[in-house]
Amino acid sequence: MRPKTSRIQSELKQKRPFRSRQQETAIALLRTADVVRRRIARVIETGGVTLQQYNVLRILAGAGPEGMPTLEIAGRMIEQTPGITRLLDRLEARKLVRRERCPTDRRQVMCRISDHGREVLRKLDGPVNEADHEAIGSLAAGDLDRLIGLLDAVRREVE
């Protein structure tokens, strides 16, 4: 039997029941994502970058020395952003990334992480790993596997 008031209802101080179990689940998912995002963002911001900037640096670090085109970076972002160019402008101004036009296709801009950008990531590695563990560490390995599978199924259905 379902509890009269769910935890998400209590957290949101909602008196009336949700329209459906699906609505309750979607709201619980959004609330959970926000809580985890804010926790990890606080840690990342100690490195002087935003969560989105950190995401770009991680993507470029994984791309290796050949770098990656701007639109490819945008497609790999955890949170999609229409302002990838402005995001890269800010990172370049801080000398965390380098950009240059592709010699074979002038429409394409290649982006690479700088040594300074790698250093920012290196300093954040431990604290971010710790924040990940604090955010999700209470779940057992089997629960993590099930949660990942459920989240994959939700994204697959929505996308």
Query: Which domains are assigned to the chain?
Result: 49-133 (1.10.10.10)
E strand or H helix that includes residue 100:
strand 97-101
Residue 125, Cβ density class (10 Å: 0-12 exposed, 13-18 middle, ≥19 buried): exposed
Query: Which DSSP category does 69 fall into?
Result: E
pLDDT per residue, tens digit, the chain (159 aa), is 555 678 889 889 888 889 999 999 999 999 999 999 999 999 999 999 999 999 999 999 999 999 999 999 999 999 988 899 999 999 999 999 999 987 777 778 899 999 999 999 999 999 999 999 999 989 999 999 999 999 999 999 998
Q: Are 132 and 139 in contact (CB under 8 A)?
A: no
Residue 70, Cβ density class (10 Å: 0-12 exposed, 13-18 middle, ≥19 buried): middle
pTM of the model: 0.88
Q: Are 12 and 27 in contact (CB under 8 A)?
A: yes
